[in-house]
A and B are shown apart, each in its own frame.
Chain A
Amino acid sequence: MAQSLAKEFTKGLWAEIPPFRLVLGLCPTLAVTKSVENGIGMGLATTFVLVFSNLLISMLRNVIPSKVRIACYIVIIATFVTIVDLLMQAFTYPLYLKLGIFIPLIVVNCILLGRAEAFASKNSPIFSLADGLGIGIGYTLALGCLGGLREILGSGTITVWGGTPIFHMGAGYHPFAFMVQAPGAFVALGLMLCMMNLIGKK
Protein backbone atom coordinates (compact mmCIF):
# COMPACT_ATOMS: atom_id res chain seq x y z
CA MET A 1 0.00 0.00 0.00
CA ALA A 2 0.99 3.62 -0.32
CA GLN A 3 3.32 5.13 2.24
CA SER A 4 3.94 8.83 2.53
CA LEU A 5 3.36 11.13 -0.43
CA ALA A 6 7.01 12.12 -0.66
CA LYS A 7 8.09 8.47 -0.59
CA GLU A 8 5.78 7.59 -3.48
CA PHE A 9 7.17 10.48 -5.52
CA THR A 10 10.87 9.91 -4.91
CA LYS A 11 10.82 6.16 -5.43
CA GLY A 12 10.35 6.79 -9.15
CA LEU A 13 13.58 8.78 -9.23
CA TRP A 14 15.93 6.02 -8.05
CA ALA A 15 14.65 2.87 -6.33
CA GLU A 16 11.97 2.12 -8.91
CA ILE A 17 13.26 4.04 -11.94
CA PRO A 18 11.58 2.53 -15.02
CA PRO A 19 14.13 1.28 -17.53
CA PHE A 20 16.78 0.25 -15.00
CA ARG A 21 14.97 -1.03 -11.91
CA LEU A 22 11.42 -1.72 -13.02
CA VAL A 23 12.79 -2.96 -16.38
CA LEU A 24 9.73 -1.56 -18.13
CA GLY A 25 9.49 0.64 -21.21
CA LEU A 26 12.71 -0.65 -22.76
CA CYS A 27 11.50 -0.52 -26.37
CA PRO A 28 11.19 3.25 -26.73
CA THR A 29 14.18 3.68 -24.40
CA LEU A 30 16.44 1.93 -26.87
CA ALA A 31 14.88 3.53 -29.92
CA VAL A 32 14.62 7.24 -29.14
CA THR A 33 17.76 7.84 -27.07
CA LYS A 34 19.94 8.70 -30.06
CA SER A 35 20.11 12.22 -28.68
CA VAL A 36 19.39 14.01 -25.42
CA GLU A 37 16.66 16.12 -27.01
CA ASN A 38 14.69 13.14 -28.33
CA GLY A 39 15.09 11.24 -25.06
CA ILE A 40 13.83 14.10 -22.90
CA GLY A 41 11.00 14.89 -25.34
CA MET A 42 9.85 11.28 -25.24
CA GLY A 43 10.15 11.20 -21.45
CA LEU A 44 8.03 14.33 -21.05
CA ALA A 45 5.35 13.01 -23.41
CA THR A 46 5.23 9.74 -21.46
CA THR A 47 5.11 11.63 -18.13
CA PHE A 48 2.12 13.65 -19.37
CA VAL A 49 0.21 10.49 -20.25
CA LEU A 50 1.32 8.65 -17.08
CA VAL A 51 0.23 11.44 -14.74
CA PHE A 52 -3.21 11.89 -16.28
CA SER A 53 -3.94 8.22 -16.82
CA ASN A 54 -2.87 7.36 -13.25
CA LEU A 55 -5.06 10.15 -11.91
CA LEU A 56 -8.12 9.21 -13.95
CA ILE A 57 -7.79 5.47 -13.36
CA SER A 58 -7.40 6.07 -9.64
CA MET A 59 -10.50 8.31 -9.57
CA LEU A 60 -12.50 5.65 -11.41
CA ARG A 61 -11.05 2.63 -9.58
CA ASN A 62 -14.29 1.85 -7.73
CA VAL A 63 -16.42 2.26 -10.85
CA ILE A 64 -14.49 0.15 -13.36
CA PRO A 65 -15.62 -3.49 -13.17
CA SER A 66 -12.73 -5.86 -12.61
CA LYS A 67 -13.44 -8.02 -15.65
CA VAL A 68 -13.07 -5.16 -18.16
CA ARG A 69 -10.40 -3.22 -16.30
CA ILE A 70 -7.61 -3.76 -18.85
CA ALA A 71 -9.88 -2.59 -21.68
CA CYS A 72 -10.84 0.51 -19.69
CA TYR A 73 -7.22 1.30 -18.81
CA ILE A 74 -6.22 1.04 -22.46
CA VAL A 75 -9.05 3.35 -23.56
CA ILE A 76 -7.95 5.95 -21.00
CA ILE A 77 -4.24 5.63 -21.85
CA ALA A 78 -4.90 5.73 -25.60
CA THR A 79 -7.03 8.87 -25.22
CA PHE A 80 -4.25 10.74 -23.46
CA VAL A 81 -1.64 9.49 -25.91
CA THR A 82 -3.75 10.82 -28.79
CA ILE A 83 -4.09 14.14 -26.98
CA VAL A 84 -0.33 14.42 -26.50
CA ASP A 85 0.17 13.42 -30.15
CA LEU A 86 -2.10 16.25 -31.32
CA LEU A 87 -0.51 18.74 -28.91
CA MET A 88 2.97 17.82 -30.15
CA GLN A 89 1.87 18.27 -33.76
CA ALA A 90 0.49 21.69 -32.86
CA PHE A 91 3.30 23.01 -30.69
CA THR A 92 6.51 21.04 -31.24
CA TYR A 93 6.29 19.89 -34.87
CA PRO A 94 10.04 19.17 -35.45
CA LEU A 95 10.18 16.97 -32.32
CA TYR A 96 6.96 15.26 -33.47
CA LEU A 97 8.63 14.43 -36.81
CA LYS A 98 11.74 13.09 -35.07
CA LEU A 99 9.88 10.86 -32.61
CA GLY A 100 7.52 9.74 -35.37
CA ILE A 101 5.79 6.46 -34.71
CA PHE A 102 7.04 6.22 -31.11
CA ILE A 103 4.49 8.73 -29.88
CA PRO A 104 1.47 6.52 -30.65
CA LEU A 105 3.51 3.57 -29.35
CA ILE A 106 3.43 5.14 -25.86
CA VAL A 107 0.07 3.35 -25.56
CA VAL A 108 1.81 -0.03 -25.42
CA ASN A 109 4.64 1.21 -23.20
CA CYS A 110 4.53 -1.25 -20.31
CA ILE A 111 5.14 1.46 -17.73
CA LEU A 112 1.65 2.90 -18.22
CA LEU A 113 -0.34 -0.29 -17.95
CA GLY A 114 2.06 -1.55 -15.28
CA ARG A 115 1.52 1.45 -12.98
CA ALA A 116 -2.22 1.45 -13.69
CA GLU A 117 -2.59 -2.17 -12.66
CA ALA A 118 -0.03 -2.22 -9.83
CA PHE A 119 -0.72 1.13 -8.23
CA ALA A 120 -3.40 3.45 -9.57
CA SER A 121 -6.15 0.84 -9.35
CA LYS A 122 -5.44 0.33 -5.66
CA ASN A 123 -4.53 3.76 -4.31
CA SER A 124 -6.07 7.19 -3.88
CA PRO A 125 -5.81 9.82 -6.63
CA ILE A 126 -3.28 12.01 -4.84
CA PHE A 127 -0.90 9.09 -4.26
CA SER A 128 -1.38 7.90 -7.82
CA LEU A 129 -0.57 11.39 -9.05
CA ALA A 130 2.67 11.39 -7.01
CA ASP A 131 3.54 7.92 -8.27
CA GLY A 132 2.90 8.91 -11.89
CA LEU A 133 4.87 12.14 -11.54
CA GLY A 134 7.82 10.47 -9.82
CA ILE A 135 8.08 7.55 -12.22
CA GLY A 136 7.56 9.84 -15.21
CA ILE A 137 10.29 12.26 -14.13
CA GLY A 138 12.59 9.33 -13.33
CA TYR A 139 11.93 7.94 -16.80
CA THR A 140 12.69 11.33 -18.36
CA LEU A 141 15.97 11.57 -16.42
CA ALA A 142 16.91 8.02 -17.43
CA LEU A 143 16.17 8.73 -21.10
CA GLY A 144 18.06 12.02 -20.90
CA CYS A 145 21.16 10.39 -19.39
CA LEU A 146 21.08 7.49 -21.82
CA GLY A 147 20.56 9.89 -24.71
CA GLY A 148 23.42 12.04 -23.48
CA LEU A 149 25.76 9.06 -23.17
CA ARG A 150 24.94 7.79 -26.64
CA GLU A 151 25.06 11.22 -28.24
CA ILE A 152 28.41 12.20 -26.71
CA LEU A 153 30.08 8.90 -27.55
CA GLY A 154 28.32 8.47 -30.87
CA SER A 155 28.54 11.94 -32.39
CA GLY A 156 30.89 13.82 -30.14
CA THR A 157 28.52 16.72 -29.47
CA ILE A 158 25.28 17.50 -27.71
CA THR A 159 22.88 19.62 -29.74
CA VAL A 160 19.57 20.88 -28.42
CA TRP A 161 16.79 22.43 -30.54
CA GLY A 162 18.85 22.41 -33.71
CA GLY A 163 21.16 25.12 -32.48
CA THR A 164 24.90 25.13 -31.99
CA PRO A 165 26.32 22.25 -29.92
CA ILE A 166 26.36 23.02 -26.22
CA PHE A 167 29.06 20.44 -25.61
CA HIS A 168 31.85 19.33 -27.89
CA MET A 169 34.39 16.59 -27.41
CA GLY A 170 36.96 18.48 -29.39
CA ALA A 171 38.26 18.26 -32.93
CA GLY A 172 40.52 15.26 -32.38
CA TYR A 173 37.67 13.00 -31.22
CA HIS A 174 36.59 10.15 -33.51
CA PRO A 175 33.00 9.26 -32.61
CA PHE A 176 31.89 5.67 -32.01
CA ALA A 177 29.22 5.68 -34.71
CA PHE A 178 27.72 2.41 -33.50
CA MET A 179 26.62 4.11 -30.26
CA VAL A 180 23.83 5.93 -32.07
CA GLN A 181 22.64 2.74 -33.70
CA ALA A 182 20.81 -0.28 -32.30
CA PRO A 183 23.78 -2.22 -30.82
CA GLY A 184 25.00 0.90 -29.05
CA ALA A 185 21.64 1.26 -27.33
CA PHE A 186 22.02 -2.11 -25.64
CA VAL A 187 25.65 -1.42 -24.73
CA ALA A 188 24.78 1.98 -23.23
CA LEU A 189 21.86 0.52 -21.29
CA GLY A 190 24.09 -2.20 -19.89
CA LEU A 191 26.78 0.31 -18.92
CA MET A 192 24.29 2.52 -17.09
CA LEU A 193 22.73 -0.46 -15.30
CA CYS A 194 26.23 -1.51 -14.21
CA MET A 195 26.99 1.97 -12.87
CA MET A 196 23.67 2.11 -11.01
CA ASN A 197 24.31 -1.27 -9.41
CA LEU A 198 27.81 -0.18 -8.35
CA ILE A 199 26.49 3.02 -6.76
CA GLY A 200 23.55 1.26 -5.16
CA LYS A 201 25.54 -1.64 -3.77
CA LYS A 202 27.44 0.40 -1.16
Chain B
Amino acid sequence: MREMISMIVVLTVLTAVSGGLLAAVRSGTMSRIEGQIFTYQLAPAMNEIFTDVKNNPAKEKFSLKFNDTEFNFYPAKLGDGSKAVAFETHGSGFAGPVGLMVGINLDTDSIVGARVTTHSETPGLGARAKDDPTFVSQFSGMSLDKKFAIRGDGGDIDGMSGATFTSKGVCLAAKEAKTIYRKLKPEILKKIQ
Protein backbone atom coordinates (compact mmCIF):
# COMPACT_ATOMS: atom_id res chain seq x y z
CA MET B 1 0.00 0.00 0.00
CA ARG B 2 2.76 2.42 0.94
CA GLU B 3 4.53 1.55 -2.28
CA MET B 4 1.40 2.34 -4.30
CA ILE B 5 0.97 5.72 -2.59
CA SER B 6 4.62 6.63 -3.11
CA MET B 7 4.35 5.72 -6.83
CA ILE B 8 1.24 7.85 -7.27
CA VAL B 9 2.60 10.80 -5.33
CA VAL B 10 5.99 10.85 -7.08
CA LEU B 11 4.50 10.64 -10.57
CA THR B 12 1.86 13.26 -9.79
CA VAL B 13 4.32 15.74 -8.33
CA LEU B 14 6.77 15.14 -11.17
CA THR B 15 4.20 15.73 -13.90
CA ALA B 16 2.78 18.76 -12.09
CA VAL B 17 6.21 20.40 -11.77
CA SER B 18 7.01 19.51 -15.37
CA GLY B 19 3.74 21.04 -16.58
CA GLY B 20 4.39 24.24 -14.64
CA LEU B 21 7.95 24.49 -15.95
CA LEU B 22 6.83 24.00 -19.55
CA ALA B 23 4.05 26.60 -19.20
CA ALA B 24 6.62 29.08 -17.88
CA VAL B 25 9.09 28.44 -20.71
CA ARG B 26 6.31 28.67 -23.28
CA SER B 27 5.02 32.03 -22.08
CA GLY B 28 8.58 33.27 -21.75
CA THR B 29 9.44 32.46 -25.36
CA MET B 30 6.07 33.17 -26.97
CA SER B 31 6.74 36.71 -28.19
CA ARG B 32 10.16 35.79 -29.54
CA ILE B 33 8.74 32.79 -31.38
CA GLU B 34 6.06 34.98 -32.96
CA GLY B 35 8.80 37.31 -34.14
CA GLN B 36 10.68 34.42 -35.69
CA ILE B 37 7.58 33.03 -37.39
CA PHE B 38 6.97 36.47 -38.83
CA THR B 39 10.50 36.86 -40.16
CA TYR B 40 10.75 33.40 -41.68
CA GLN B 41 7.20 32.53 -42.69
CA LEU B 42 4.90 35.54 -42.88
CA ALA B 43 7.30 38.11 -44.33
CA PRO B 44 8.42 35.96 -47.29
CA ALA B 45 4.76 35.12 -48.02
CA MET B 46 3.86 38.80 -47.93
CA ASN B 47 6.74 39.67 -50.26
CA GLU B 48 5.42 37.17 -52.77
CA ILE B 49 1.89 38.57 -52.57
CA PHE B 50 2.82 42.27 -52.72
CA THR B 51 5.47 42.21 -55.42
CA ASP B 52 5.23 45.93 -56.17
CA VAL B 53 4.73 47.82 -52.94
CA LYS B 54 5.62 51.41 -52.09
CA ASN B 55 5.61 51.31 -48.29
CA ASN B 56 6.79 48.93 -45.56
CA PRO B 57 3.78 46.81 -44.51
CA ALA B 58 5.61 45.19 -41.59
CA LYS B 59 6.37 48.55 -40.00
CA GLU B 60 2.81 49.82 -40.34
CA LYS B 61 1.11 46.76 -38.89
CA PHE B 62 -1.93 47.20 -36.65
CA SER B 63 -4.16 44.66 -34.94
CA LEU B 64 -7.91 44.30 -34.67
CA LYS B 65 -10.13 41.88 -32.80
CA PHE B 66 -12.48 39.47 -34.53
CA ASN B 67 -14.56 37.16 -32.31
CA ASP B 68 -12.15 37.59 -29.41
CA THR B 69 -9.06 36.74 -31.51
CA GLU B 70 -6.39 39.29 -32.35
CA PHE B 71 -5.41 39.54 -36.01
CA ASN B 72 -2.41 41.48 -37.30
CA PHE B 73 -3.07 43.54 -40.44
CA TYR B 74 -0.25 44.71 -42.73
CA PRO B 75 -1.30 47.63 -44.94
CA ALA B 76 0.32 48.08 -48.34
CA LYS B 77 0.32 50.81 -51.00
CA LEU B 78 0.53 48.98 -54.31
CA GLY B 79 2.40 50.20 -57.36
CA ASP B 80 -0.79 51.16 -59.21
CA GLY B 81 -1.87 53.47 -56.36
CA SER B 82 -4.48 51.20 -54.79
CA LYS B 83 -4.49 50.29 -51.11
CA ALA B 84 -4.33 46.72 -49.89
CA VAL B 85 -4.05 44.84 -46.63
CA ALA B 86 -2.60 41.43 -45.75
CA PHE B 87 -3.37 39.18 -42.82
CA GLU B 88 -3.05 35.52 -41.88
CA THR B 89 -5.93 33.11 -41.38
CA HIS B 90 -6.06 29.37 -40.74
CA GLY B 91 -8.11 26.57 -42.21
CA SER B 92 -8.37 22.97 -41.05
CA GLY B 93 -6.23 20.83 -43.36
CA PHE B 94 -5.25 17.17 -43.36
CA ALA B 95 -2.96 17.08 -40.33
CA GLY B 96 -3.71 20.32 -38.56
CA PRO B 97 -4.30 24.01 -39.35
CA VAL B 98 -2.95 25.42 -42.60
CA GLY B 99 -1.88 29.06 -42.31
CA LEU B 100 -2.68 31.30 -45.28
CA MET B 101 -1.43 34.86 -45.78
CA VAL B 102 -4.11 36.68 -47.82
CA GLY B 103 -3.66 40.06 -49.47
CA ILE B 104 -6.88 41.92 -50.33
CA ASN B 105 -7.20 45.04 -52.46
CA LEU B 106 -9.28 47.57 -50.52
CA ASP B 107 -10.37 49.50 -53.61
CA THR B 108 -11.62 46.58 -55.69
CA ASP B 109 -12.48 44.08 -52.91
CA SER B 110 -10.54 41.36 -54.66
CA ILE B 111 -7.67 39.14 -53.63
CA VAL B 112 -4.20 40.37 -54.56
CA GLY B 113 -2.67 36.99 -53.74
CA ALA B 114 -2.50 34.22 -51.18
CA ARG B 115 0.42 32.17 -49.89
CA VAL B 116 0.61 29.27 -47.44
CA THR B 117 2.70 30.06 -44.36
CA THR B 118 2.74 27.23 -41.80
CA HIS B 119 1.32 23.73 -42.13
CA SER B 120 1.81 20.12 -41.05
CA GLU B 121 0.70 18.55 -44.33
CA THR B 122 2.25 15.52 -46.02
CA PRO B 123 5.49 16.20 -47.91
CA GLY B 124 4.98 15.67 -51.63
CA LEU B 125 1.19 15.85 -51.39
CA GLY B 126 -0.43 18.51 -49.20
CA ALA B 127 2.89 20.30 -48.72
CA ARG B 128 2.75 21.21 -52.42
CA ALA B 129 0.34 23.96 -51.39
CA LYS B 130 3.35 25.79 -50.02
CA ASP B 131 6.21 24.49 -52.18
CA ASP B 132 4.43 24.99 -55.51
CA PRO B 133 2.56 28.30 -55.90
CA THR B 134 0.41 27.01 -58.79
CA PHE B 135 -2.47 26.07 -56.50
CA VAL B 136 -2.65 29.26 -54.44
CA SER B 137 -2.08 31.49 -57.46
CA GLN B 138 -5.65 30.58 -58.47
CA PHE B 139 -6.76 33.03 -55.78
CA SER B 140 -4.88 35.95 -57.31
CA GLY B 141 -7.24 38.50 -58.72
CA MET B 142 -10.35 36.63 -57.53
CA SER B 143 -13.19 38.85 -56.46
CA LEU B 144 -14.51 38.30 -52.95
CA ASP B 145 -17.95 37.54 -54.38
CA LYS B 146 -16.68 34.21 -55.69
CA LYS B 147 -17.17 31.03 -53.71
CA PHE B 148 -13.84 29.91 -52.22
CA ALA B 149 -14.26 26.16 -52.52
CA ILE B 150 -12.89 23.34 -54.67
CA ARG B 151 -14.95 22.21 -57.64
CA GLY B 152 -16.16 19.15 -55.72
CA ASP B 153 -17.76 21.50 -53.20
CA GLY B 154 -19.37 23.70 -55.82
CA GLY B 155 -16.65 26.33 -56.11
CA ASP B 156 -14.27 27.44 -58.84
CA ILE B 157 -10.93 26.34 -57.40
CA ASP B 158 -9.13 23.33 -58.86
CA GLY B 159 -7.96 21.19 -55.98
CA MET B 160 -4.52 19.56 -55.87
CA SER B 161 -4.63 15.91 -56.91
CA GLY B 162 -3.94 13.58 -53.98
CA ALA B 163 -4.35 16.47 -51.51
CA THR B 164 -8.08 17.09 -51.24
CA PHE B 165 -8.09 17.86 -47.52
CA THR B 166 -5.23 20.30 -47.84
CA SER B 167 -6.98 22.02 -50.76
CA LYS B 168 -10.16 22.27 -48.68
CA GLY B 169 -8.12 23.63 -45.77
CA VAL B 170 -6.66 26.41 -47.90
CA CYS B 171 -10.16 27.26 -49.20
CA LEU B 172 -11.45 27.36 -45.62
CA ALA B 173 -8.67 29.76 -44.70
CA ALA B 174 -9.55 31.94 -47.70
CA LYS B 175 -13.23 31.88 -46.73
CA GLU B 176 -12.37 32.98 -43.22
CA ALA B 177 -10.27 35.79 -44.66
CA LYS B 178 -13.32 36.88 -46.65
CA THR B 179 -15.54 36.84 -43.55
CA ILE B 180 -13.08 38.76 -41.42
CA TYR B 181 -12.42 41.31 -44.16
CA ARG B 182 -16.12 41.95 -44.78
CA LYS B 183 -16.78 42.42 -41.07
CA LEU B 184 -13.75 44.58 -40.29
CA LYS B 185 -13.41 46.61 -43.51
CA PRO B 186 -14.71 49.89 -41.99
CA GLU B 187 -12.25 49.63 -39.11
CA ILE B 188 -9.40 48.71 -41.45
CA LEU B 189 -10.08 51.77 -43.58
CA LYS B 190 -10.14 53.94 -40.46
CA LYS B 191 -6.77 52.62 -39.30
CA ILE B 192 -5.14 53.22 -42.67
CA GLN B 193 -6.20 56.85 -42.93
Contact = CB atoms under 8 A, between A and B. Distances in A.
A and B: real partners?
yes
Interface stretch (A6-14, A17-25, A66-74, A163-171): A66-74
A91 B31 CA distance: 11
A75 B18 contact: yes
Contacts of A91: 32
Contacts of B26: 86
Nearest to B118: A97
A76 B10 CA distance: 12
A37 to B, nearest CB: 16
A150 B131 CA distance: 26
Nearest to A96: B36
Interface SS of B by simple majority: helix
A83 B25 contact: yes
B170 to A, nearest CB: 20
B36 A64 contact: no
Contacts of A197: none
B36 A72 contact: no
Range of interface residues on chain B?
10 to 19
Contacts of B7: 65, 67-68
B6 interface: yes
A91 B39 CA distance: 12
Interface string A51-86: 000000000000111011001100110110011001
A79 B33 contact: no
Contacts of B32: 90-91
B3 A90 contact: no
Nearest to B40: A93
A44 to B, nearest CB: 18
A65 B6 contact: yes
Contacts of B6: 65
A90 B33 contact: yes
Interface string B1-41: 00100110011001100100110011001001100110110
B21 A89 contact: no
A94 interface: yes
A15 interface: no
B3 to A, nearest CB: 7
B29 A68 contact: no
A87 interface: yes
Nearest to B13: A63
Contacts of A94: 40
Contacts of A63: 10
B36 A79 contact: no
A67 B21 CA distance: 25
B5 to A, nearest CB: 10
B3 A71 contact: no
B137 to A, nearest CB: 23
Per CB-CB distance, the 7 closest pairs between chain A and chain B, nearest first, are A93-B36, A90-B29, A90-B32, A79-B18, A68-B7, A89-B33, A65-B7
10 contacts: A72-B10, A79-B18, A79-B21, A79-B22, A86-B26, A86-B33, A89-B33, A90-B32, A93-B36, A94-B40
